[in-house]
Amino acid sequence: MALAMARPWKHPKTGIYWLRKRVPDDLQKLVGKREVKHSLGTRDPAEAKRKHLAALAAVEERWANLKIGPRRLTEREAHELAQAQHDEWLALYRNDPSDNPWVMVWGQHCFMNLEYSGAPEDSEARRRYYADLQEIGRLEQRCRDRADESLRDQGLLVDERSRELYAEAIAHAYQRASRRLLEWRKGNLDDDGPTRPSKQFNTAQSDSAATRAALTVSFEDLVKGWAAEKKPAAKTLYAWKAVVEKLKKSIGHDDAASVTPEDMLRWKASLIEAGFKPKTIRDANLVPIRAILQWAVDNRKLPSNPAERITMDVKSKAAGSRRSYTEAEAKTVLAAAAKEKDAVKRWVPFLCAYSGARVAEICQLRREDVVEIDGIWCFKIDPQAGSIKTAGSERAVPLHPALIEAQFLEFVRKVKKGPLFADLPADRFGSRGGNGTKVLGRWVRNLGLTDERLAPNHSWRHRLKTLGRRHGLAPDIVDAITGHQRKTVADTYGEFPMEALYREISKIPTLKLD
């Protein structure tokens, strides 16, 4: 009896054709599933058959490689594999070579393990060198990520040395392709290679447009994929979904592959016309869409990002910039807090004032987060207590002597277990910080501090930085205390002992509230 050939499967709801194929029993553990499914991105039966054959061939090749098992790549094999990345890079940027994101001046140093000893550790030249290393490291990581993705797609199992060899070969491939793109950018189009740039730039449909036409990628799928990988805070995901819905309403459809830069420009113009502030348009609307679409490009779901160069000019105004609490304002708030019976108003301003921590970080503190480390009392900003802004936000902060003197530890000991501010309700995203910000914001304004440049909660972070400069605290330790991102590779070396953190923060004098 003849075996039935695999054929495209039509989704009953969307009408889009898919490849579906059962994974052989001996490969299910390696593949991690019993069936592979892949959208063919078309509703046309003939187009689906053509795409199905190509996708099926790729799946079969991947499975064949998996059956071979672990192997070690030679340098030649690594470069032969990377040639596909070279051609793909040229195809992505052939019509707009200026959009090429590979930076050749740094790319030529990738995977070279450069050493530098020509200047003192604290010199400007040394700092520039470390900054360059960060950019080189960024390009190297891009190559490693692409190597991992390519090996996974092809079912190639290799050792760590081969993985690194392949990543280095990809760096060379990107470097070669970028040199070629640079020549195309200058108008030097004479090239006999198979991927020479098209000279028909004025045709009705460019290659990138044709590529988009063959795709159907819903915004819903992109948001799901982006969220699964990035794991944003619930509040961020909610806000970004709302922005996506706003864009979909403007363009009239849900197909991200059909969005053009012109669509994005029209959307931006509609936001301007609606009266939104430039910063809101840029940060709350354009940035989320650009990030989601860039994730799609990085994960080979879209050929290019139509929002990549769509931005909004935001002019900073001195009158609108945030500032620190002054000494008088800080005394006003802390003196009022010292008289409060409500735990949130009593302790959150004090903890923010003497640590520079974010209000949300303080509001979600638990009894178990106040601990003694190396004989020094401190509180931990722990992601298990609630969402934190960045990975660098996770930290331990020593209690300033003013907090000990104010008997904060006595308050903590009265809480047997769990949140210190249990009476503060969580918002719809499960965060006490949202409600804490509102409660304290209104409370501070009612104390007569109405200057719009003063943020009732965030200005404590500005004040901690100001005091750090005034009293000579080590800048890198101030960053460690406040949870700010480290600026250079050198800053990532070594640890921050609690005694060093306590020594520096104790340099900040206690405010006299009498």
Segments of 115-163 assigned E as strands: none
474 class by beta-carbon count within 10 Å (0-12 exposed, 13-18 middle, 19+ buried)? middle
pLDDT of residue 204: 34
Segments of the chain assigned to CATH 1.10.443.10: 327-505
Q: Considering only residues 321 and 458, tell me which one the structure prediction assigns the higher pLDDT.
A: 458
Helix, strand or coil for residue 112? coil
Q: Which residues contact 303 (CB under 8 A, 6 or more apart)?
A: 92, 208, 211, 212, 215, 297
Architecture of domain 217-314: Orthogonal Bundle (1.10)
The residue written with tokens 């499967």 in the block is 9
Domain 327-505, classified CATH 1.10.443.10, yes or no: yes
pLDDT tens, 33-79? 788 787 888 888 888 887 877 777 767 766 666 666 677 888 888 88
pLDDT tens, 230-250? 888 778 888 899 999 999 988
pLDDT of residue 41: 83
pLDDT tens, 240-293? 999 999 999 888 888 888 888 888 998 998 888 888 888 889 888 999 999 999
Assign 30 a pLDDT band (cuts: 50, 70, 90). Answer: low
Are the C-beta atoms of 366 and 421 separated by less than 8 Å? no
Q: Considering only residues 219 and 158, tell me which one the structure prediction assigns the higher pLDDT.
A: 219
Are the C-beta atoms of 456 and 446 separated by less than 8 Å? no
Nearest residue to 20 via CA among 30, 10, 12, 29: 10
Q: Is the pLDDT of residue 120 over 50?
A: no
Q: Maximum distance among all alpha carbons in the chain?
A: 96
pLDDT tens, 394-431? 889 999 999 999 999 999 999 989 999 988 888 777 77
Query: Sign of torsion, CA 69 75 78 80?
Result: negative
pLDDT tens, 74-103? 888 888 888 888 888 888 888 888 888 888
DSSP 326-364: PHHHHHHHHHHHHT--SHHHHHHHHHHHTT---HHHHHT
Q: Is the pLDDT of residue 198 over 80?
A: no
What's the average model confidence in pLDDT over 449-463? 89
pLDDT of residue 205: 37
Nearest residue to 461 via CA among 397, 514, 380, 513: 397
pLDDT of residue 392: 62
With vertex at residue 358, the alpha carbon angle to CA 357 and CA 359, rounded to the nearest 5 degrees, is 115
pLDDT of residue 190: 56
Distances (CA, A) of 325 to 287, 350, 354, 361, 507: 30, 13, 12, 19, 18
Q: Is 364 left (phi over 0), alpha (psi -120 to 50) or beta?
A: alpha
CA–CA distance, 15 with 391 (Å, rounded to integer): 42
CA–CA distance, 310 with 261 (Å, rounded to integer): 8
Assign 211 a pLDDT band (cuts: 50, 70, 90). Answer: very low
pLDDT tens, 3-21? 344 678 888 888 888 888 7
CA–CA distance, 209 with 425 (Å, rounded to integer): 50
Q: Is the pLDDT of residue 215 over 80?
A: no
pLDDT of residue 130: 53
pLDDT of residue 214: 45
Segments of the chain assigned to CATH 1.10.150.130: 217-314
pLDDT of residue 405: 94
